[in-house]
Amino acid sequence: MTHPLSVNLSRDALQRGDGELIVAIQATAPQRHANTVTRMPFNIAIALDVSSSMKGVKLHHAKVAAQRIVSRLEPQDHCAVVTFASDSTVLMPSTAMTESARELLIAELEKTIADGNTALYAGWRDAVACVEQADHDGLAIQRVFLLTDGEANVGVNNPGLVARAVTAAQQRGISTSTFGLGDDYNERLLGIMASAGEGNTYFIEDADDIDAFFGQELDHLSTTTLRNAELTVNVPADAQCTVVGDRNHTRNANTLTIPMGAMMSGESRQVLLHLVATESLALGTYHIDAALSAIDANALQFDATVSVPLLVSAQADVIAEELERSAALLDKAAVVAQALAYHKKGDYAGAVALITARIHSHPMYARFGVYEEELERFKQRIDGASMKRMRMHSNDMVNSSPATLDKYRMMLELLHKKNGRPEDIALIEEQIRTLEAKFAAE
């Protein structure tokens, strides 16, 4: 059986002074037994945009997708549906999905009409409240599905404030996945919410694809063997440590805590840390300690620990260059997400300057040439659909799992079926190759 935790270093030592290396911590969820016929119960809420822009075919397909999700749930599952336009409405509070409850909820969804503005935060907030009010003995996988096609133009829409609220919900065991429909939604806000909520983010170009994306999200949850997973890492106090890719984490002195959310059967997730020596770090042997805690499929506490020695010496050699290349790709993804904010405002020069500055400030990463390949792309106008895909790709590189590959393979299949643009297909194929390389290296 694969050990739940492993730690690898990119160099044989941390060179005293200004030396640096990458620490790779890999967490692996236990396999779901082949003879297991039950799964963890779900406690989910669907927050559905019913503003004016959703009228017609968009709302029709959104209803169908939500109804299909409801029809797949079982009596041990709880589901709530919240609609939001100029304000938020709880269509049905969290309810055990008995046959009669499913039929009632499906009928209520059918009555929904679109009108008004987009109180996105209120819809998400009320969906979280519904999940928290469910009576499931604390044993369920808890997630909010948020679907919107527009900007949050009513109520709270500051990304920082929203991210803090989503992070707080995640810390209470409620993750968030976001589904952006069409060209007009705020991909930055939805990406931030999914990252903070340890969920997934999706760009759905055509309304008739909503069902496929919703279905895949539920399929992934069905194979979960760990929930509320959390990784804690202790590093030497006199070493500077940052989480590569700026993924969601908290810090207390020399201890880092990284939420991992729900993990599927056999799934491995890797967290990379960038460690830099300081003049006060004395020569000698230190330790890096990592611990994974979660709730398993039997509602029992799951814990695993590992400790590896870290040598601080006068010189060091690279022993795992692929880890430093992976760190460079993750850092590039985080920088691209920031550059897109400039680009969306038409400040192409600002986007290019941001990436160029990174080349000079991060020599370990820059030697792999990952930033240069983005410069030409950012010197020209990027269409809305490609921009949304790029931001989703950036989010998925920083906060991804092997299941993310399934999403991109499905997207590629949909694009081929619809005779999508060659440049869009190429972008998805590039992301698939990148993720395949990333997970093969792990």
Q: Which of 82-96, 176-190, 205-219, 418-432 has the lowest mean pLDDT?
A: 418-432
Residues 129 and 254 in one domain: no
In this structure, the dihedral spanned by the alpha carbons of residues 145, 148, 153 and 158, taken in order and rounded to 10 degrees, is: 50
Write the pLDDT tens digit of every residue in 198-252. Answer: 999 999 989 999 999 999 999 989 989 999 999 999 999 889 999 998 788 999 9
Write the pLDDT tens digit of every residue in 349-396. Answer: 888 899 999 888 888 999 999 898 788 878 777 877 788 888 888 888
The sign of the torsion formed by the CA atoms of 95, 100, 103, 109 equals negative
| Domain final position from 275, 290, 319 | 319
| Domain final position from 289, 319, 349 | 319
Residues 371 and 422 in one domain: yes
* pLDDT for the residue 394: 82
Residue 280: CATH number of its domain: 2.60.40.740
Q: Span 136-147, mean pLDDT? A: 87
Residue 48: CATH number of its domain: 3.40.50.410
Contacts of residues 101-108 at CB distance under 8 Å and 24 or more positions apart, as own/partner, are 102/70, 102/71, 102/73, 105/70, 105/79, 105/81, 106/67, 106/70, 106/71, 108/81
Q: How many CB atoms within 10 Å of residue 271?
A: 22
Residues 57 and 176 in one domain: yes
Q: What's the domain count of the chain?
A: 3
Residues 71 and 192 in one domain: yes
| Domain carrying residue 206 | 42-222
Residues 14 and 77 in one domain: no
Write a three-state SS string for the chain: CCCCEEEEECECCEECCCCEEEEEEEEECCCCCCCCCCCCCEEEEEEEECCHHHCCHHHHHHHHHHHHHHHHCCCCCEEEEEEECCCEEEEEEEEECCHHHHHHHHHHHHCCCCCCCCCHHHHHHHHHHHHHHCCCCCCCEEEEEEEECCCCCCCCCCHHHHHHHHHHHHHCCEEEEEEEECCCCCHHHHHHHHHHCCCCEEEECCHHHHHHHHHHHHHHHHCEEEEEEEEEEECCCCEEEEECCCCCCEEECCEEEEEEEEEECCCEEEEEEEEEECCCCCCEEEEEEEEEEEEECCCCEEEEEEEEEEEEECCCCECCHHHHHHHHHHHHHHHHHHHHHHHHCCCHHHHHHHHHHHHHHCHHHHCCCCCHHHHHHHCCCCCHHHHHHHHHHHHHHHCCCCHHHHHHHHHHHHHHHCCCCHHHHHHHHHHHHHHHHHHHHC
Predicted confidence band of residue 427 (pLDDT cuts 50, 70, 90): confident
Residues 57 and 169 in one domain: yes
Residues 136 and 53 in one domain: yes
Residues 107 and 59 in one domain: yes
Predicted confidence band of residue 278 (pLDDT cuts 50, 70, 90): confident
| Domain final position from 319, 336, 370 | 319
Q: Span 90-104, mean pLDDT? A: 95
Residues 340 and 399 in one domain: yes
Residues 11 and 156 in one domain: no
pTM of the model: 0.88
Q: In the predicted model, is pLDDT for residue 318 greater than 60?
A: yes
Write the pLDDT tens digit of every residue in 2-36. Answer: 789 999 999 999 998 889 999 999 999 998 876 66
Residues 163 and 54 in one domain: yes
Write the pLDDT tens digit of every residue in 156-205. Answer: 999 999 999 999 999 999 999 999 999 889 988 999 999 899 999 999 98
Residues 309 and 423 in one domain: no
